[in-house]
DNA sequence: CAATCCTGTAAAGTTTTTGTTACATGCCGC
DNA sequence: GCGGCATGTAACAAAAACTTTACAGGATTG
């Protein structure tokens, strides 16, 4: 079993690599992103921690943290990496709101120690963030509102439809067989037919309108959610 | 629900972002301005505190404070952010008037502590508790009068009905399961049936008349308050 | 103390959701 | 083009979920 999946966000490739290497060595699963935009794209409910550089080209780390917290409603822990010169003069090092801060230059030992601490505090390896919202392409899924937005237009899905879309969207690109979906969503009564899934998919597509092709069929395998195409 | 709205004024975007992120994290509502002129434009009676950088391009923070106090006659608390200790002397006068100052580099802990202290001292809110009232679409909920108005027509709800409507309206769009509602509002006796909630909802709808559809049911999930529809 | 209102439950109607079936369509190797 | 699959959809009926009405015990009010 994995210890947890960490998303590293830093526009300096060296730092990403060093962190990735060492954290993977320590047994964590690691994803890297070189910008906030890329990170927001990659961020999925299976991540259990973000290591986030504050100073980056384009969207800053703080701005990204705001998006993660507010727009996506995620309470995933964040450890901020603050560069030496600019902010360290302003901030004297602290942790607030459950987040943590590490200022560069940092020792790998320190980072790993903090990562361990934060993950233990946040419930160990529970990568489950059931309140997480998903944003992918033009589709946004708001968990607390149980609503889906396609290019900001609300899409009203029934419970089953919502569950299916959420499942597929939470692992963008991954192909789910009909059997997978049934095992995951009909835990009480797994004696439903494959074709039932097809019908649900069709209904979701109908409601997604212009974005119906986000739900792709992989003939012979099943379905997957992919915003590109 | 809200603790108060803070106006941050600093021409360094980084500092604005850091303060904004952390104060929002601490539960405050935040507006930002990158100049004194912009701040004076944005400043409104709903702000309960200003975090004001002294050294800025254009109008200085010091000058702005004077405008706020003298021309606008506002007694809104101000916390000055100063780059140098040398300026402290100039600020002691304001400090006496209930304001405060923090010199860079500062820790967020310190800022949050001061913000808390100042807001507590000034009574928490600039005026009443405006956030206790909810206005959403054509519906207005007056907490102190325990009254609901639909398009300005008074709607007389019983206690339970009022509690339910208030709960749902306090998070517009969010879907509350019957269980959520029962856990929240029947804390003493959580052994009431789901159907009871339905009946209450029906009674509220009856009283809301033309606006009954503000209370929407999300089949399989629960109920939510949404003025759109 | 009686009259009234508030609340929770029950049961009878309605609507929505959901699983299934049946049939249409498209793709592939012949 | 022809079978043989695999997928897309419309239609339907059962099941589940929701709304409404009715009622009785309790609380509240005057």
Residues B10 and B57 in one domain: yes
Interatomic distance A22 CA / D15 C1' (Å) = 54
* DSSP-derived 3-state class of residue B218: strand
In a domain, B126, yes or no: no
The answer to whether B224 faces chain A, any CB pair under 8 Å, is: yes
Interatomic distance A135 CA / C15 C1' (Å) = 32
The answer to whether A94 faces chain B, any CB pair under 8 Å, is: yes
In a domain, B64, yes or no: yes
Name every residue whose Cβ is closer than 8 Å to that of residue A5 and which is 6 or more positions away in sequence: A28, A29, A30, A31, A46, A47, A48, A49, A127
The answer to whether A103 faces chain B, any CB pair under 8 Å, is: no
Residues A101 and A17 in one domain: yes
Q: Please tell me the predicted confidence (pLDDT) of residue B173.
A: 92
Q: Which is higher by pLDDT, A105 or B51?
A: B51
Q: How many domains does chain B have?
A: 2
Residue B202 pLDDT more than 60? yes
CB A159 within 8 A of CB A185: no
Mean pLDDT value across chain A: 85
Q: Please tell me the predicted confidence (pLDDT) of residue A229.
A: 60
Residue B97 pLDDT more than 60? no
Q: Which is higher by pLDDT, A163 or B82?
A: A163
DSSP string, B75-119: ---EEEEES-GGGHHHHHHHHHTT-EEEESS--HHHHHHHHHHHH
Which CATH number do you get for residue B175? 1.10.10.10
Asked if A89's CB is within 8 angstroms of B104's CB, the reply is yes
Residues A114 and A138 in one domain: no
Q: Please tell me the predicted confidence (pLDDT) of residue A227.
A: 87
Asked if A66's CB is within 8 angstroms of B174's CB, the reply is no
Q: If you average pLDDT over residues A172-188, what whole number do you get? A: 91
Q: Which structural domain, as residue segments, surrounds residue A148?
A: 134-225
| A158 CB less than 7 Å from any atom of strand C | yes
pLDDT digits 0-9 by tens, A182-228: 999 998 777 899 999 999 999 999 999 999 999 999 999 999 999 87
pLDDT digits 0-9 by tens, B179-201: 999 988 998 776 899 999 999 99
Burial, A206: exposed, middle or buried (Cβ in 10 Å; 0-12, 13-18, 19+)? exposed
CA-angle at B193, arms to B191 and B196, nearest 5°: 125
Q: Please tell me the predicted confidence (pLDDT) of residue B163.
A: 94
In a domain, B179, yes or no: yes
Task: Look up the protein residue whose alpha carbon has the minimum distance to the C1' of C17.
Answer: A158
Neighbours of B157 (CB within 10 A): 21
Name every residue whose Cβ is closer than 8 Å to that of residue B207 and which is 6 or more positions away in sequence: B155, B156, B157, B161
DSSP string, A65-84: HHIIIIIS-----EEEEE-T
| B113 CB less than 7 Å from any atom of strand C | no
* DSSP-derived 3-state class of residue A154: strand
In a domain, B128, yes or no: no
Interatomic distance A183 CA / C8 C1' (Å) = 38
Q: Please choose, from the candidates B136, A105, B185, the residue with its C-alpha nearest in 3D space to the C-alpha of residue B177.
A: B185
pLDDT digits 0-9 by tens, A67-97: 888 888 888 888 888 765 544 445 544 445 5
CB A125 within 8 A of CB B141: no
- Residue finishing a domain among B84, B99, B121: B121
Q: Please tell me the predicted confidence (pLDDT) of residue A53.
A: 87
């Amino acid at each position: 079993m994995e210890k947890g999946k960490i998303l590293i966000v830093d526009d300096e490739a060296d730092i990403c690599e060093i962190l990735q290497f060492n954290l993977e060595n320590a047994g964590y699963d690691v994803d890297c992103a070189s910008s906030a935009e890329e990170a927001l794209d990659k961020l999925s409910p299976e991540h259990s921690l973000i290591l986030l550089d504050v100073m980056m080209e384009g969207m800053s780390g703080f701005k990204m943290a705001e998006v993660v917290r507010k727009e996506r409603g995620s309470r995933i822990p964040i450890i901020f990496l603050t560069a030496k010169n600019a902010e360290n003069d302003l901030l004297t090092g602290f942790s607030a709101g459950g987040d943590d801060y590490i200022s560069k230059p940092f020792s790998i030992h320190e980072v790993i120690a903090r990562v361990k601490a934060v993950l233990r505090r946040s419930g160990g390896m529970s990568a489950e963030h059931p309140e997480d919202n998903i944003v992918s392409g033009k589709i946004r899924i708001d968990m607390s509102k149980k609503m889906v937005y396609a290019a900001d237009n609300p899409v009203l899905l029934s419970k089953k439809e919502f569950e299916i879309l959420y499942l597929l969207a939470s692992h963008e690109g991954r192909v789910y067989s009909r059997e997978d979906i049934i095992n995951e969503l009909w835990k009480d009564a797994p004696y439903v037919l494959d074709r039932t899934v097809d019908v649900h998919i069709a209904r979701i597509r109908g409601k997604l309108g212009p974005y119906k092709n986000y739900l792709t069929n992989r003939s012979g395998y099943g379905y997957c959610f992919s915003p590109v195409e």
